[in-house]
């Protein structure tokens, strides 16, 4: 009989042990389903029947999907930073004329910094939220092509 077979039968058993470690870094991610939101009022009914009047975007033609992932311990928030929309010659539209709602909730005017979502602890995978935008015009706006940006951040509270 081979020697290893005899050792097994006598109750001796050889063991090896290897330590295992995992380094799971803190992580968070935000993604949006569209790269821009466009309000082309030349394609719509402008001027409206009365002011103030809210226009939906011409692109995309529906809500944006905001996907949020976090494995942070403690509280976190998704914020959007909105600057004034600027046209040639320095004409401005206030960021508060852009409104947003999350998952069909109430409309909120965008300020310099607006909290869209808050959470606590890991998100348990990607959470998807629907964002809808609208542009509210008062009738006092100068004509022009206005441009600006919205910056979304996910940060620890």
User: Residue 84 to residues 10, 87, 92, 93: CA-CA distances in angstroms?
Assistant: 83, 10, 6, 6
CATH of domain 50-156: 2.60.40
Tell me: the pLDDT tens digits for 90-125?
999 999 999 999 999 999 999 989 999 999 999 999
Q: What is the pLDDT of residue 9?
A: 52
pLDDT band at 11 (very low <50, low <70, confident <90, very high): low
Question: What's the rounded Cα separation, in Å, for the pair 48 and 2?
Answer: 95
């Amino acid at each position: 009989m081979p020697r290893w077979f005899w050792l097994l039968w006598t109750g001796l058993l050889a063991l090896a042990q290897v330590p295992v470690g995992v380094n799971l870094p803190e992580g968070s991610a935000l993604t949006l389903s569209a790269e821009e939101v466009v309000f082309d009022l030349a394609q719509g009914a402008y001027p409206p029947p009365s002011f103030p009047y809210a226009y939906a975007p011409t692109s995309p033609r529906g809500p944006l999907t905001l996907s949020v992932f976090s494995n942070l311990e403690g509280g976190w928030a998704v914020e959007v930073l909105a600057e004034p929309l600027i046209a040639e010659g320095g004409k401005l539209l206030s960021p508060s004329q852009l409104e947003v709602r999350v998952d069909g909730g109430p409309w909120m005017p965008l300020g310099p910094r607006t909290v869209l979502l808050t959470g606590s602890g890991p998100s348990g995978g990607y959470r998807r939220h629907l964002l809808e935008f609208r542009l509210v015009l008062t009738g006092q706006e100068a004509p022009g092509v206005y441009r600006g940006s919205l910056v979304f951040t996910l940060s620890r509270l």
